C-alpha cells in the first residue's frame, strides 16, 4: 500500500529568528512528534518538550503542538515544533525528521496544496492565501484576506447555485415537451439569465487584484530642470534620483514602489522632454523612454508649461518658492519639493485617485485566472439569453457552471495546480 508521504518544513521566517516553527503534516506526523519529543502531547495544547534525535542526543528544548486530523489546516495529522530559531537548531531538528522513515522535506506550497486536495480550502481561497503571504501593503493584506477567507468563493457558489436553479427549470420544460412542438421557456427565465450575466459583467469591470501588486503607476514628466527628480525623491522619501541645476540630468527611467496610506504606488522619474536634444544621443534615448512611460502610466504628473502635458495629466507648478516663479492659475498643485510644502496635499490627492483605480478594501477582487473563468461564465449566460431552443440553453448553462467549477477549483488540471502552488514558499 502506498501511503501519502509525510512532509516537514520550517514554516516561519528564515533563521536566525527568535523562534522557528517546523511543521510536519501527514500520516506519520504523530510518530515523528513522539520520536523527537519522547511522548504525545495533549491535542491542540502547547507544551514544553526536550527534542532528541535517534541517538538520544539533545537537540533543543521546544514548544510542541499536536493537531490530529482531519480538522487541521492541512486536513492531515499535523505536528508543530516551535524551536529556538538558530540556524543550527533548525538544521538539527530537520535532520532528525529527515532520518525518520516516510518523512521528506515539503515542496513549495505543499502544505497548502494538501489543504486544497483534502477540501479544507478551495482554489480561490488558496490563491488568496498566496496573495496574503506576499502582501506588502495594507490594501493588499485586506483584499487577500477577504479571498483567503472565502469571500470570492462564497460569491461564486451563489452564482453557481443560481445557474443550477435555472438549469433545473430548463430540464423541467424539456421533460414536458414532446417531439413535435418544442416547449417555450418562460419570459422571466430569460430575464433572470440576463440579470445574472449583468451581475457578472459588473464584477468583471472592477479593478483586478494584480493592480494591488503592481501599484498605481504615477509618472513624473515635463521639460528638463522642472524639478521632476526632486519631487520624485520627495514622494518616495529617498534620494533615489540625482537632482541638479543642469538641464538633462535624468536620462534613465527610475522607478520606486512605496505605500502611501496603505495604498501601493509605483513612482516613475523620467528624462526631461525637449525637442532640441537630438545632438545628445543618450538624452534622446532617455526622452524616447520617457515617452513610452507616459503611455503606461495610470496618472501623469506634468511639471511644465500649462496644457502641454498629456490629456488627463495633473499639472504641477513646482518650485513655487523660487524667485520669479508665478504659479499658473490652472495648475492643480503648487508645491515646493525642496521644502516639502504642498507635497502632503498632493500625496493625499494621489491616494484618493489610486483608491478609485484599485480594488476597494473588503471587496473581493478577481485575478487574471479568475477573470478569465468568470468571462467564460458571462459569455455562456449571454449566449443562453439569445437562444430559444431549451436544449441549447441547457448546454450554455452547463458551460457557465463548468466555468464556475474551474474558478473555485472543483475542476482542475495538475499543470494548473503545479503553477499555482509552485509560487508559494517552502513551508506554506
Ligand X SMILES: Nc1nc2c(c(=O)[nH]1)N(C=O)[C@@H](CNc1ccc(C(=O)N[C@@H](CCC(=O)O)C(=O)O)cc1)CN2
Ligand Y SMILES: Nc1nc2c(ncn2[C@@H]2O[C@H](COP(=O)(O)OP(=O)(O)OP(=O)(O)O)[C@@H](O)[C@H]2O)c(=O)[nH]1
Task: Please say whether the dihedral angle defined by the alpha carbons of residues 102, 105, 108 and 109, taken in this order, is positive or negative.
Answer: positive
Handedness of CA 136, 142, 147, 148 (dihedral sign): positive
Q: How many residues bind ligand X (CB under 6 A)?
A: 6
To ligand Y, the closest distance from the beta carbon of 323 in angstroms equals 9
CA distance 317 to 335: 7
Q: Give whichever of 59 and 219 is closer to Mg ion, judged by the CB atom.
A: 219
Of 43, 70, 64, the residue nearest 52 (C-alpha): 64
Torsion angle (degrees, nearest 10) of CA 311, 316, 322, 323:
60
278 is in an annotated binding site: no
Residue 318 partner contact from ligand X, ligand Y, Mg ion, none using kind-dependent CB cut-offs of 5 to 8 Å? ligand Y
Q: Residue 250 interacts with ligand Y (CB under 6 A)? A: yes
- CA distance between the termini of the chain: 27
When binding is defined by CB under 6 A, the residue of 25, 147, 334, 338 that contacts ligand Y is: 338
Residue closer to ligand X (CB basis): 145 or 240: 145
Q: Is the peptide bond before 70 cis (omega within 30 degrees of 0)?
A: yes
Nearer to Mg ion, 297 or 384 (CB): 297
**The cell 493592480 sits on which residue?**
211
Residue pair 62/84 in contact by the 8 Å Cβ criterion = yes
Contact between 230 and ligand Y by CB under 6 A: the answer reads yes
Q: Are strands 6-10 and 19-25 parallel, antiparallel or unpaired?
A: antiparallel
Please report whether residue 182 would count as binding ligand X according to CB under 6 A: no
To Mg ion, the closest distance from the beta carbon of 232 in angstroms equals 7
- The Cβ-side half-sphere exposure at 211, using a 13 Å CA radius, reads 22
Tell the smallest beta-carbon distance from residue 241 to ligand Y (Å): 7
User: From CA 420, how far away is CA 415, in angstroms rounded?
Assistant: 9
Structural element, H or E, at residue 285: helix 281-296
Among 248, 261, 262, 327, binds ligand Y (CB under 6 A): 248
Tell me the CA distances in angstroms from 107 to 92, 113, 417, one per residue in order: 19, 10, 13
Q: Is 240 in the site for ligand X (CB under 6 A)?
A: no
- With contact defined as beta carbons under 8 Å apart, do 385 and 229 qualify? no
- 24 bridge partner residues: 8, 79
Task: Report the alpha-carbon distance of residue 125 to residue 145 in Å, rounded.
Answer: 9
Does residue 2 sit in helix, strand or coil?
A: coil
Residues 12-51: x where in contact with ligand X by CB under 6 A, - otherwise, as a string: ---------x------------------------------
**Could you say whether residue 224 binds ligand Y (CB under 6 A)?**
yes
Three-state DSSP state, 169: helix
- 3-state secondary structure at position 349: helix
Q: Which stretch binds ligand Y (CB under 6 A): 62-70, 91-99, 203-211, 332-340?
A: 332-340
For ligand X, the closer of residues 67 and 159 by Cβ is 67
Closer to ligand Y by CB, 1 or 246: give it: 246
Sole window of 4-12, 134-142, 184-192, 219-227 interacting with ligand Y (rule: CB under 6 A): 219-227
Q: How far is the CB of 224 from ligand Y (least distance, A)?
A: 4
Residues 58-77, one symbol each (x = binds ligand X by CB under 6 A, - = not), give ---------x---xxx----
Does 247 count as an annotated binding residue? yes
- To ligand Y, the closest distance from the beta carbon of 336 in angstroms equals 4
With CB under 6 A as the contact rule, the residue among 158, 238, 244, 386 that binds ligand Y is 244
User: Which residues in the 255-294 window bind ligand Y by CB under 6 A?
Assistant: 271-272
By Cβ distance, which residue is nearest to ligand X?
Answer: 71
Least Å distance, CB 331 to ligand Y, is 13
179 neighbors 106 (Cβ within 8 angstroms): no
Residues belonging to the binding site are 23, 80, 120, 225-230, 244-250, 269-272, 428
- Interacting residues toward ligand Y by CB under 6 A: 224-230, 243-245, 247-250, 271-272, 318-319, 321-322, 336-338
- Interacting residues toward Mg ion by CB under 5 A: 228-229, 249-250
Residues belonging to the binding site for Mg(2+) are 229, 250
- Interacting residues toward ligand X by CB under 6 A: 21, 67, 71-73, 80
Amino acid at each position: 500500500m502506498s501511503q501519502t508521504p509525510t512532509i516537514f518544513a520550517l514554516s516561519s521566517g528564515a533563521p536566525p529568528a527568535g523562534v522557528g516553527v517546523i511543521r510536519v503534516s501527514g500520516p506519520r506526523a504523530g510518530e515523528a512528534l513522539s520520536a523527537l519529543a519522547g511522548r504525545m502531547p495533549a491535542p491542540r495544547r502547547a507544551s514544553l518538550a526536550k527534542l532528541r534525535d535517534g541517538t538520544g542526543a539533545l537537540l533543543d528544548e521546544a514548544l510542541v503542538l499536536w493537531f490530529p486530523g482531519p480538522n487541521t489546516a492541512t486536513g492531515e495529522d499535523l505536528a508543530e515544533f516551535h524551536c529556538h530559531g538558530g540556524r543550527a537548531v533548525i538544521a538539527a531538528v530537520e535532520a532528525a525528521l529527515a532520518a525518520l522513515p516516510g518523512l521528506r522535506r515539503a515542496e513549495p506550497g505543499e502544505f497548502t496544496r494538501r489543504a486544497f486536495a483534502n477540501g479544507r480550502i478551495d482554489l480561490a481561497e488558496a490563491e488568496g492565501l498566496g496573495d496574503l503571504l506576499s502582501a506588502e501593503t495594507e490594501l493588499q493584506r485586506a483584499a487577500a484576506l477577504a479571498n483567503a477567507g472565502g469571500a470570492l468563493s462564497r460569491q461564486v457558489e451563489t452564482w453557481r447555485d443560481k445557474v443550477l436553479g435555472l438549469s433545473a427549470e430548463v430540464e423541467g420544460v424539456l421533460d414536458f415537451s414532446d417531439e413535435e412542438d418544442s416547449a417555450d421557456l418562460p419570459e422571466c427565465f430569460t430575464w433572470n439569465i440576463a440579470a445574472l450575466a449583468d451581475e457578472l459583467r459588473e464584477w468583471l469591470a472592477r479593478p483586478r487584484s494584480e493592480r494591488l501588486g503592481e501599484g498605481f503607476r504615477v509618472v513624473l514628466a515635463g521639460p528638463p530642470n522642472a524639478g521632476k527628480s526632486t519631487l520624485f525623491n520627495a514622494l518616495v522619501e529617498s534620494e533615489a534620483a540625482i537632482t541638479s541645476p543642469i538641464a538633462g540630468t535624468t536620462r534613465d527611467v527610475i522607478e520606486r514602489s512605496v505605500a502611501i496610506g496603505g495604498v501601493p504606488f509605483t513612482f516613475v522619474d523620467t528624462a526631461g522632454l525637449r525637442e532640441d536634444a537630438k545632438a545628445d544621443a543618450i538624452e534622446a534615448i532617455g526622452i524616447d523612454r520617457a515617452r513610452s512611460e507616459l503611455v503606461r502610466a495610470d496618472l501623469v504628473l506634468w511639471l511644465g508649461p500649462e496644457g502641454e502635458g498629456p490629456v488627463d495629466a495633473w499639472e504641477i507648478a513646482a518650485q513655487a518658492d523660487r524667485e520669479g516663479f508665478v504659479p499658473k492659475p490652472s495648475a492643480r498643485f503648487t508645491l515646493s519639493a525642496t521644502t516639502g510644502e504642498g507635497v502632503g496635499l498632493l500625496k493625499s490627492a494621489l491616494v484618493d485617485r489610486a483608491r478609485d483605480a484599485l480594488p476597494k478594501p473588503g471587496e473581493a477582487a478577481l485575478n487574471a485566472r479568475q477573470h478569465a473563468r468568470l468571462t467564460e461564465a458571462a459569455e455562456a449566460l449571454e449566449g443562453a439569453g439569445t437562444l430559444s431552443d431549451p436544449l441549447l440553453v441547457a448546454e450554455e448553462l452547463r458551460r457557465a457552471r463548468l466555468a464556475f467549477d474551474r474558478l473555485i477549483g472543483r475542476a482542475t488540471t495538475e499543470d494548473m495546480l503545479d503553477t499555482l502552488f509552485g509560487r508559494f514558499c517552502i513551508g506554506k
